[in-house]
Amino acid sequence: MTVLPLVIAPDPILQQISAPVDVVDDAVRATLDDMLDTMYRSRGIGLAAVQIGVLKRLIVVDVHWREEEAGTRKPLKLINAEILSDSEEESAYNEGCLSFPDQFSEVVRPAYVKVGYLDENGKKQVLEADGLLATCIQHEIDHTNGINFVDHISRLKREMIIKKLVKGKKLGLFDHDDHHHDHDHAHGEHCNH
């Protein structure tokens, strides 16, 4: 188990496009496990490899787990995930991101997506998702394309968020990898990716 430091915005790596994975090997599986450890530790529901500084198209998601129910973990590991189709119907969700600590904003996305990906054995899979899972997977696939949730909101709001993070970095607020434990994110409407 390895909890890795998170890349915190603003950081140019978060705008970079991640490379597809050619071979699903033990190194890829180890990275996915480290990503899950890091995500659970930070109480997130999704994480893309770029957020630990690895520019590979790797995503982990678990929208079901709650800290007080350790047995409820249902991790999803997606390699080279891409959206095959989505719905015209949209849904709005108050999104957060582990790379944008304590910042939240409503983002509107398709309510349903069909996603193709490789599982950790390198086998092709197709997943259909709606609700929070659809939101989370789209948020994570965005990360692999260098897009962050703040790119979906108004420039004014985005600039305000970045300003706060720049200030927070100067003050050293994000220097401890466990800073998320200082806050109560138990209420369901706030979920970090």
Would you say 50 or 118 has its CB closer to Ni ion?
50
Closest separation between CB of residue 49 and Ni ion, Å?
Answer: 12
Interface with Ni ion, residue 8, by CB under 5 A? no
Cis peptide leading into residue 20 (ω within 30°): no
Long-range contacts for 162-170 (Cβ within 8 Å, ≥24 apart)?
Answer: 162/9, 162/10, 164/103, 165/8, 165/9, 165/10, 165/100, 165/101, 165/103, 166/10, 168/101, 169/8
Residue in 120, 140, 159, 189 annotated catalytic: 140
Phi, psi of 21 (to 5 degrees): -90, 125
Closest separation between CB of residue 46 and Ni ion, Å?
Answer: 7
Closest separation between CB of residue 193 and Ni ion, Å?
Answer: 4
Closest separation between CB of residue 139 and Ni ion, Å?
Answer: 6
Q: How far is CA 6 from CA 9, 53, 68, 110, in A?
A: 10, 8, 23, 28
- Per 3-state DSSP, the chain is made up of helix, strand and coil in percentages (nearest 5) of 35, 30, 35
Interface with Ni ion, residue 107, by CB under 5 A? no
Would you say 14 or 118 has its CB closer to Ni ion?
14
Could you say which of 57, 77, 109, 193 contacts Ni ion (CB under 5 A)?
A: 193
Could you say which of 97, 113, 129, 137 contacts Ni ion (CB under 5 A)?
A: 97
Closest separation between CB of residue 159 and Ni ion, Å?
Answer: 18
Interface with Ni ion, residue 191, by CB under 5 A? no
Binding segment for Ni ion among 23-31, 67-75, 92-100, 159-167 (CB under 5 A)?
92-100
Sheet-wide strand order for 46-48: 46-48, 58-61, 76-86, 112-118, 124-130
Binding segment for Ni ion among 8-16, 29-37, 94-102, 175-183 (CB under 5 A)?
94-102
Alpha helices (H) along the chain: 26-41, 131-144, 155-170
Active site residue 140: yes
Would you say 117 or 149 has its CB closer to Ni ion?
149
Catalytic sites, residue numbers: 140
Residues near Ni ion (CB under 5 A) are: 97, 193
